[in-house]
Structure 1
């Protein structure tokens, strides 16, 4: 299964922004669609484990000649583990100077949110870090946790991934 997402110039007009919606443990998250390169089915046989890598790093895979680290978002977000199934996918992200894959339970759609539909991320004190959240998106009865995926994937702990992969 290989889906390439096509993005259109000018797609975020009038203050709106498009988000790819993915699920983890029945919660919906949104990431900037412009960071998404493609969506692939998850195949654990195609992932090579790296010694001494953080637990959230499943390993690396070869994507058309590019070595791509694969990060399990359930482990990264300290969620309960789940068996991978046919819904499990890897979202290939194109960030700054790197390509990274993130394993999620599934993707549902792409939503356009206007700025009025996006609220600031709530503050939880020191018990829960919100530094990687850009806000909460609401559309009809749905609430999306909006993640700054670039900030998350370029954080200090992700530098460990770079050193383990190289």
Structure 2
């Protein structure tokens, strides 16, 4: 549960002292900061991941999630768009982008992005580096969530 996050942060930080270039650990640390509301630390950590690996899709995906949690929806949209530019077949990226578009009342784009998420699931999805507790991770769960969201949006005018 959430009570474990401070301990988890310490554990991952210790790991990074021994293995400073461990991208998995860096991404996980960023996510733990994000989940505990330490958004500027999350941003810094994803920035470090991008310095090490400039084309790191996960740093953009998770950075987008952190921005979304902070209510910085323009930043979230920008990060997720960069992830999808690098990896257009990543269903979770389309799904998360749809969530941002929905929160900005851009229902037309949200519907398109949810449909893209479902369509990309025809292709094998790779597991993301780093760990994000409660992130939709199976094709099945992404598909179900996207279809539900799409059905709800069909009720919306426009």
**Category of TM-score, reference length = shorter chain:** under 0.3
* Structure possessing the higher relative contact order (Cα contacts under 8 Å, 6 or more residues apart): 1
Between structures 1 and 2, the one with greater strand share: 1
Between structures 1 and 2, the one with greater helix share: 2
